[in-house]
Amino acid sequence: MSVNKPGRTILASTISKIYDEEIRQKVESLRPLRPEGPLLVGFLANSDPAAEMYARWTQKTSEALGIRYELRRFADKDLLEENIIEANNDDGVDGIMIYFPVFGNAQDQYLQQTVCKEKDVEGLNHVYYQNLYHNVRYLDDHETLKSILPCTPLAIVKILEYLKIYNPLLPDGNQMYGKKCVVVNRSEIVGRPLAALLANDGATVYSVDVNNIQKFTRGEGLSAIKHHVEDLGDYSEQLLRDVCRDADIVITGVPSESYKFPTEYIRDGAICINFSSFKNFSEDVKTKASLYVPMTGKVTIAMLLRNMLRLVDNREKIKAMRQ
Amino acid sequence: MSVNKPGRTILASTISKIYDEEIRQKVESLRPLRPEGPLLVGFLANSDPAAEMYARWTQKTSEALGIRYELRRFADKDLLEENIIEANNDDGVDGIMIYFPVFGNAQDQYLQQTVCKEKDVEGLNHVYYQNLYHNVRYLDDHETLKSILPCTPLAIVKILEYLKIYNPLLPDGNQMYGKKCVVVNRSEIVGRPLAALLANDGATVYSVDVNNIQKFTRGEGLSAIKHHVEDLGDYSEQLLRDVCRDADIVITGVPSESYKFPTEYIRDGAICINFSSFKNFSEDVKTKASLYVPMTGKVTIAMLLRNMLRLVDNREKIKAMRQ
């Protein structure tokens, strides 16, 4: 195979370390309120090696930046709910996250919503999603409490900023104007909120799942604050090829070891980002992609910690308002 | 086939009409506040014949009892969310329900949570579920605002009350003490909350799905307020047969036309209730069951309307508290 135009690979660690200093300073500024550093608690009740690795990395990153991290393991999944509620009510806990899957079915969505929004570092609470989908940036009318974004979609936005795809010369909320993205995954956790986020920032997003392909746009006119969704048709290789033809960015998140995005569909010079824990792009992706980000986990962890510090801020502001 | 011990079939309509008078009186007592009757709005964005029938029956029952019903149909599923939010904010709307499936995947859970809890007649809001699972009956510490129960599980409890399975001589919260139930369905909408409700009232519940069989109990001791869940093992015909051996009640909710619960597993004289829109019991169920309830939809509709009137009450109480 001739690799005459090798693209550049950008590692998540290169991008995540940009946030190290910001996080460290914030932890320092919270020192009067959290002398030992804020506490993040992870709940783990599976033996998924990807979850284990993610937990280990979160611990390592947290501790390097002055944040305390505690992993609480449960052999009995049914104990998780009560223990999460206890952590919700424990003033010593600043952030809570769950390593999914727990039950591996719709009960996981129930469990997810038991984490109170005030400590939901992953940004998975319904309130945060509803704000995201409606492009609402604050939790209150006075715009003092910032809403939280789900951490993986947010990490991908930050990666696109780093890669200079978000154009800082354009006004906020328009920095993806004119860009075409393909997102292969439409989960409620990452794919759908990501498509909405990018559309809210002006991009045209082709959202792909096994059933069909949809087009997300910001909607007509400047007044439309919510993204617009249009069904393009049932999934087919031909339709995928068509939407990829002029895609500036291809983002994959297929949770399967065997899945590979067809390299020949990628436009010459496109940006390729994979957020699955499996490598969704083949080795030859660099013959097409100008910039290639093979994994995103470390940026997600940085966003997790940033979200937690924002939640501490919000809680302290609410406390101050009540006094 | 010899049918020498024919059981009695009890129709849902026989049970639901018990609530007619209560609902009519309540509507009458609300007349000063809702001169034209309270308004229930149904959102329909599929062409599922079961949903159509359910909507038609809800309309018919509502109107017979003095409640206004409005079905809002959408060809474009993506318009539903904004229209539900509009109904949330419309003071003229008292209750909201969605005919699922809409998207047919996890997005349905997101959509469900966009119905504000103050108008969620189906009792599907996370707050109501969390209260159910923790056996919490009120929304406030002063115990003035009653929590809402999901309407199908509630309907089945009411059916069991009608069938004299709930024993009124036992104290509240213990009226199913000593009873053994098999529930074939563990959906987040019906099967799991139903198992928890029955366990909270003292029953031993064997919860069956395609993967495994679990045992729900109230937990040891009188102080345990939350049900306890134990895995009995992977699903097998043998395990199902075992848990059915001394089951007083068999409740089915398998959404499949071809599924039939094996009549030979039913204990002689057991109570059989089917809440699936498909007939999960064979015709010969009456050779085993003493009482057989083939469908539950009409009782569910009665509970829906009762829930709505309770929500109107709650909203009016909150208004009064604020004045």
CB pairs under 8 A between A and B: 36
Residue B198 banded pLDDT, cuts 50, 70, 90: very high
The tens digit of pLDDT for each residue in A268-303 reads 999 999 999 999 999 999 999 999 999 999 999 999
In this complex, the residue of B126, B188, B226 whose CB is nearest that of residue A106 is B188
The shortest C-alpha distance from A316 to chain B (Å) reads 25
* Percent of chain A topping pLDDT 90: 86
The shortest C-alpha distance from B191 to chain A (Å) reads 11
Residues of B with CB under 8 A from a CB of A: 78, 81-82, 106-107, 109-110, 113-114, 126, 129-130, 133, 187-188, 192, 226, 228-229
Contact B110 A82 (CB under 8 A): no
Given this model, what pLDDT does residue A323 score?
79
Given this model, what pLDDT does residue B293 score?
98
Per CATH, is A152-298 categorized as 3.40.50.920?
Answer: no
What is the assigned CATH class of domain B20-119? alpha beta
Residues on chain A touching B82 (C-beta within 8 angstroms): 226
Complex ipTM tops 0.90: no
Helix (H, G, I), strand (E, B) or coil at A230: strand
Please calculate the CA angle B9-B249-B155 and round it to the nearest 5 degrees.
70
For residue A7, the 8-state DSSP code is P
Contact A226 B82 (CB under 8 A): yes
Residues on chain B touching A226 (C-beta within 8 angstroms): 82
Test the A interface: residue of B76, B88, B110, B117 with most A CBs within 10 Å? B110
List the catalytic residue out of A116, A151, A181, A272.
A151
Residues on chain A touching B226 (C-beta within 8 angstroms): 82
CATH architecture of B152-297: 3-Layer(aba) Sandwich (3.40)
The tens digit of pLDDT for each residue in B204-244 reads 999 999 999 999 998 665 455 678 899 999 999 999 999 99
In this complex, the residue of A78, A192, A228 whose CB is nearest that of residue B107 is A192
Q: Is the peptide bond before A101 cis (omega within 30 degrees of 0)?
A: yes
Residues on chain A touching B78 (C-beta within 8 angstroms): 228-229
> Catalytic annotation on B151?
yes
Count CA atoms within 13 Å of residue B277 on its CB side: 9
Check whether B299 has a pLDDT greater than 60: yes
Domain spans of chain A? 152-298
The tens digit of pLDDT for each residue in B139-154 reads 999 999 999 999 999 9
Lookup: tokens for A19: 């946030």
Residue in chain B closest to A187 (alpha carbons) equals: B106
Cα dihedral across residues B309, B312, B318, B322: positive or negative: negative
The tens digit of pLDDT for each residue in A59-74 reads 999 999 999 999 999 9
Given this model, what pLDDT does residue B4 score?
59
Report the 3 state secondary structure along chain A: CCCCCCCEECCHHHHHHHHHHHHHHHHHHCCCCCCCCCEEEEEECCCCHHHHHHHHHHHHHHHHCCCEEEEEECCCHHHHHHHHHHHHHCCCCCEEEEECCCCCCCHHHHHHHHCCHHHECCCCCHHHHHHHHCCCCECCCCCCCECCCCHHHHHHHHHHHHCCCCCCCCCCCCCCCCCEEEEECCCCCCHHHHHHHHHHCCCEEEEECCCEEEEEECCCCCCCCCCEEEEEEECCHHHHHHHHCCCCEEEECCCCCCCCECHHHCCCCCEEEECCCCCCECHHHHHCCCEEECCCHHHHHHHHHHHHHHHHHHHHHHHHHHC
Residues on chain B touching A228 (C-beta within 8 angstroms): 78
**φ, ψ (nearest 5 deg) of residue B252:** -120, 150
The shortest C-alpha distance from B106 to chain A (Å) reads 7
